[in-house]
Amino acid sequence: MSATLHEITTPGLTENGWITDWNAPGVVGFTKQFEDVLNGVQRMIYATETVSKQDTLNFPPVIARSVIDTTEYADSFPHLLARIKTLDEDDAPKYLKGIADGTPEDEMLETSDVVVVPAACYSLYPLVADGKVESGKMFYVAGNCFRAEASTEIGRFRSFRMHEFVYFGTLDECTTWRDRRADVAIDIFAELGMKAEKELATDPFFRPLQRVMAPSQIEQQLKYELVVPITEDRNIAIASANLHKDHLCHRFEIHGDDGGISNSTCAAFGMERVVLALIAHHGLDFDAWPPSVVDALS
């Protein structure tokens, strides 16, 4: 689609001042040059809707396990979820003695009440749980997410930032909103010099391992991914538009205007991947990026 993609490698990204070396696969630091571009993308995304300060939320990278259990995330993606184990302060001396004696550390730890956040919007749902939400209510949520993926290929960040608009309404309203948001994302990427394609996603999110007989996510057309090329033969998804129908609202008992269970949908951006795609399109040398792209970001 683009004949002039720039090759991006980890050494090339570090040498040109974008990222640091990793200390674990998929875990890198980001320089101010990278962050400035990421923040520019964030401003462009945020400017496409009007959301109040109070509904614009930044969430921490941990979340109550009970919330994740309510979403049934571990039923669908048990391998992606990072559980946390800790130690009571009172047990610290016993722990250190145990370590000295060769006791396996894990045996002395206890499962924490929190896990690492797998998707930013999960922190939002408990805040509107057990209540009413009017049709058309929209939030902007951001946060660091973690998914325990095995791959080390470029762009497969295990730790990454997800920014999302989340919308509540009837099923029709949510479907219309989801489709429109996919187009808005395509427009943002076009302004940044990238031609994104809308693809029906193949990774379902409703208990795929258990409900093998259920209609597939693809048949229901619940999830669109927006993909761009980052090498001549590889596309990556840099955003998605997801129709949750009433699944999450049912789990959190969120009711709509008519008293029935609300529907919800979200439009999510993988922020590091957007920046990575921009580098692949415009080159490792930020100073040589097209003025129109730099203008859009500033």
Alpha carbon distance 173, 169 (integer Å): 6
Q: How far is the CB of 70 from a second copy (least distance, A)?
A: 10
CA 282 to chain centre: 24
Distance from C-alpha of 249 to C-alpha of 262, rounded to nearest angstrom: 6
**Minimal distance in Å, beta carbon 141 to a second copy?**
8
- Return the half-sphere exposure (C-beta side, CA atoms, 13 A cut-off) of residue 198: 17
Which residue's CB is nearer to a second copy, number 157 or number 177?
Answer: 157
Distance CA 66, CA 121 (A): 15
Total number of residues binding a second copy (CB under 8 A)?
A: 72
Supply φ then ψ for residue 80, to 5 degrees: -95, -20
Q: Nearer to a second copy by C-beta: 124 or 154?
A: 124
Give the residue among 119, 156, 120, 142 at the shortest CA–CA distance from 42: 142
Q: Is 151 helix (H, G, I), strand (E, B) or coil?
A: coil
| Interface characters, 173-212, with a second copy (x: CB under 8 A) | ------------------------------------xx--
Closest CA to 224 of 251, 184, 252: 184
Query: What distance in Å separates the CA atoms of residue 198 and residue 18, rounded to the nearest whole number?
Result: 28
**Per the structure block, which two tokens stand in for 146?**
């973690």
Give the contact letters, 69-108, x = binds to a second copy (CB under 8 A), - = no: ------x--xxxxxxxxxxxx-xxx-xx--x-----xx--
What's the gap between Cα 269 and its chain centre? Answer: 6
Interface residues for a second copy in 45-64 (CB under 8 A)? 53-64
Nearer to a second copy, 97 or 195 (CB): 97
Helix (H) or strand (E) holding 159: strand 159-169
Residues in the chain: 298
Q: Out of 6, 10, 20, 179, point to the residue binding a second copy (CB under 8 A).
A: 20
Q: Mark 145-174 with x for binding to a second copy (rule: CB under 8 A) and - for no binding.
A: -x-x-x------xxxx--------------
Q: Could you tell me the smallest distance in angstroms from the CB atom of residue 51 to a second copy? A: 8
**x/- track of binding to a second copy for residues 104-123 (CB under 8 A):** -xx--x-xxxx-x------x
Would you give the binding string for a second copy spanning residues 269-298, x where CB under 8 A is met? ------------------------------
Q: Binder to a second copy among 2, 7, 29, 292 (CB under 8 A)?
A: 29
